[in-house]
Amino acid sequence: MTDFKTALGFIRSNKIKMLQRPKELHWLFNRIKKLDNPRVFVEIGSGQGASAFILGNAMPVGSSIYMIDKNHPDLRLDVATALKRIGYDVREICGDSVGYMTKRIMEGHFEELEADILFIDGDHSYEGVKADFEYYSKFVRKGGLIALHDIARHPKKPDTQVWQLWKELKEQYNTIEYIEKGKHVGVGVVIK
């Protein structure tokens, strides 16, 4: 476990592409740190692994970090290696988050475990993010966090429809959110 500034410095110094804004990740990092002994982090849409590295470091060493992405895992090799060196149990799953094989793999891992944090940043279509939320939220423990990225409506990106699901979730669950002023991204958290 390291502090946010050190984790962010590793990502920047290794030129790993980060798809989230630093202030968003810092806000979510602090929410994770407030959880009581989190042990399992699951990320859907890991990209090159920047957010998994930063947010995973908010958890105690020895925790499990699952990175799910349909793109080749070689993109995340540096991040996975670094997390393993620190002492985290890293699991990379290459496949569509709601594809048959990915679902079977995850079901096998979560027969006896529950996730403390689920971070959804994969398919940004309404149908895609809803499918991820509906399928994976059942693996999150009571009191755990389900975070979604890109919850603010973006006028120039009509295919980014996470905001539609976020609007529905805010009516149904206990939620908190962070949207940086003047930015069309944001992180929303459902507290299960």
Per-position pLDDT tens, the chain of length 192: 689 999 999 999 999 989 899 999 999 999 999 999 999 999 999 999 999 999 999 999 999 999 999 986 676 788 999 999 999 999 999 999 999 999 999 998 887 789 999 999 999 999 999 999 999 999 999 999 999 999 998 878 878 899 999 999 999 999 999 998 888 789 999 999
Q: Give the pTM.
A: 0.95
Domain extent listing, the chain: 4-191
In the CATH scheme, what is the homologous superfamily, with its name and number, of domain 4-191? Answer: Vaccinia Virus protein VP39 (3.40.50.150)
What secondary structure letter does DSSP report for 187? Answer: E
Both tokens of 146, joined, read: 């389900």
* Cα–chain center distance at 42: 6
